[in-house]
Amino acid sequence: MIIESRFAGPPGSGNGGWSAGVFAAALDDRGPVEVTLRRPPPLETPLRAVDGEIRDPDGQVVAQVRRVEPFTAVVPPVDAATAAAAAKTYPGLVDHPFPGCHVCGPANPDGLRIFPGRLPDGRTAAPFRAPERVVRATVWAALDCPGGWAVIAPGRPYVLGRIAAVVAGLPAPGDECVVTGATIGGEGRKAEVHSSLYGPDGALLGYARATWIALPPA
């Protein structure tokens, strides 16, 4: 498997959600699967699955993948108008640690362009138009950044460390969806978040629980 450059997150590495979705598919993500990123997923590099691990050509472990027990991590939905209004206040439009991110980067015109803004209750919400090609990793990617932006603050960037997701269905290309995210807890540099993806009819298409890790000050 290869994480193509167009699916970048932080410079030089793959977006965590998309990469995790690709890695989960190597195991078979028809049930709840958890992916722990052990190092930034390299771009344009052949990777292989070996005994529940994703390894690079040198044998270094990039990620660990395992099935987990069924769980619930659903963030309540909002209507499309509320999501669109929240997106207008997306902090990443003016201060983004990784503006080229495939999922939420405002400087990436070919990305998913999910811009999660904060709701009054602390949740995040954003509209999401499904791209022309939709695969299961698309849902993993859409569930990634909306959770992260529930904790990211100016001058305090976070990156995805671990994500477990359930994919209940895929949006059709062009579908106008809504994504929500919420902080659940955390300690030290770690933050626990949930996120959910809803289709145009309000159906729950997927949900995730994730651990985000604050980067040390530069």
pTM of the predicted protein model: 0.96
pLDDT in the model for residue 29: 67
| Structural domain for 133, as ranges | 80-214
Which of 29, 46, 67 is where one domain is finished? Answer: 67
**Residue 75 maps to a domain:** no
Residues 36 and 95 occupy one common structural domain: no
Which tens digit of pLDDT belongs to each residue from 152-206?
988 889 999 999 999 999 999 999 999 999 999 988 899 999 999 999 999 999 9
pLDDT < 50 regions, the chain = none
Sign (positive or negative) of CA dihedral 63, 218, 147, 191: positive
Residues 87 and 189 occupy one common structural domain: yes
Residues 54 and 27 occupy one common structural domain: yes
Residues 112 and 204 occupy one common structural domain: yes
**Residue 201 maps to a domain:** yes
Residues 91 and 187 occupy one common structural domain: yes
pLDDT in the model for residue 218: 61
Q: How far is CA 86 from the centre of its chain?
A: 18
Residues 110 and 209 occupy one common structural domain: yes
| CA–CA gap between residue 158 and residue 153 (Å, rounded) | 9
Residues 142 and 195 occupy one common structural domain: yes
% of the chain exceeding 90 in pLDDT: 92
Number of domains comprising the chain:
2
pLDDT in the model for residue 162: 98
